[in-house]
Amino acid sequence: MADLLVFVVIALVLAALWYLADAQLRSAVKNFLLQRRLKPKLTQQHKLNLPSFFKDRQAQSVEQLIRAVDVSEQSIDLFLDLASLLRSQGDLAQALKLHEHLLQHHGGLPLALGQKVRFELACDYWGAGLLGRAESELQALLDCANLSVHVRKQALKALLDIKQEFSEWLQAIDLADQLTTAKFSAEPDSWRRMQAQFCCELAEQARAQADMGELRLRLSQALRFDPDCARAHLIEAEQHLADGDTKSTLIALEQLVARRSDLALLCLPYFQHCYQDDQQALLDKLLQLQSKQSSLIFLLAASGLMFELGEKKAQAQLWREAMVQLKALTPWRAMLEIVLNEGRAELPRFLQSFAAALNTEAQWHCSHCGAHSVQMQWRCPACHHWDSYEASC
């Protein structure tokens, strides 16, 4: 009998503590909702001031919140903001639980709120690496009737990211086509430029499979999406070279460096290949390109070839002119002037040191995030932007 009495007392104490915890939560929720009426957007300070049980005992707190607070138009922002906070802290499991709960109980809410919940749930799946489930949720969302323009755009962007992860380039082209606002404009927007890159990916696949018809089709599409697509022009030049069409290769390469002078580093080996049997013709071409583009790459190549051909006087004169033309030489100008004034014999040694100094630095960098690489990347591995890499020199 005594044991039963002790058991009952313990049960009552636990129940009381549980009720007080829920009461504390209900009080916090009422205060939160009052703040939201006064300040509709949850600020970072409000997030930091959320009750400590949301931070220290997240799993229990989420369960308490689900039991204590009904899903309504007034409370849904609380659920969404808490889920956003949990996701930012890396607790995707609890964020998923909140969004799934909302999705199951959003029947009485406005349609736009239900759509927002489904999108947030898809983002949870994406963050957890469940790309297949994220894709299914996003596709289901896009199939909804009366989908708001804002949510539709967000869903299309997220689904486009997933298609890129899966290298599903045809579907990615279609999704970008739904996002672009410059479909019939002469000037491509970011989505059209992205579509050109997707076509280049398909062109690379076709080349690997020796499907020349498909390769030409994809290159044509890429240049229709973005006439200035450097990657498409480079693939075109490479294919002309593979076909033995030197004249078309040179035309494509010159058009490319005219559009993107920073890609001289990529184009130089192809110029050298085209003139492998005529070094003087190669020198003339390099000097012509240097004159048009003021490129350090063409300057170094022409200078090295002059040295090989024994044209040391012309080599020194080339560097004197380059000191005036090229801003990239400014840090080296004083030393270069000393070398040229002391005599041409010291110039090769200086140029060797100069080239070595350039090679110690990464040759390419992303103009969007600043990432560096020793190789050209058509899509930045760090920020995933397309065609953002530029030559550092």
For 323-368, write each residue's pLDDT tens digit: 766 666 665 666 666 666 665 556 666 666 666 655 555 578 899 9
Which residues on neighbouring strands pair with residue 390, listed in sequence order? 365
Residue 84 within any structural domain of the chain: yes
Distance set, CA 13 to CA 20, 48, 111, 267 (Å):
11, 32, 43, 79
The pTM (predicted TM-score) of the whole model is: 0.74
Number of structural domains the chain divides into: 1
Question: Which pLDDT belongs to residue 13?
Answer: 41
Q: What is the CATH number of the domain that holds 133?
A: 1.25.40
Question: Which pLDDT belongs to residue 298?
Answer: 85
Question: Which pLDDT belongs to residue 16?
Answer: 45
Residue 29 within any structural domain of the chain: yes
pLDDT tens sequence across 276-314: 999 999 999 998 888 887 777 888 888 888 888 888 788
Nearest alpha-carbon partner for 380 in 370, 83, 233:
370
**Whole domain around residue 96: which residue ranges?**
18-49+61-66+73-103+114-140+151-159
First vs last Cα of the chain: how many Å apart? 88
Residue 221 within any structural domain of the chain: no
Question: Which pLDDT belongs to residue 272?
Answer: 92
Which segments of the chain have a pLDDT < 50? 6-53
Residue 34 within any structural domain of the chain: yes
- Taking a C-beta distance cutoff of 8 angstroms, is the pair 226, 196 a contact? yes
Residue 96 within any structural domain of the chain: yes
**Eight-class DSSP state of 361:** S
Residue 276 within any structural domain of the chain: no
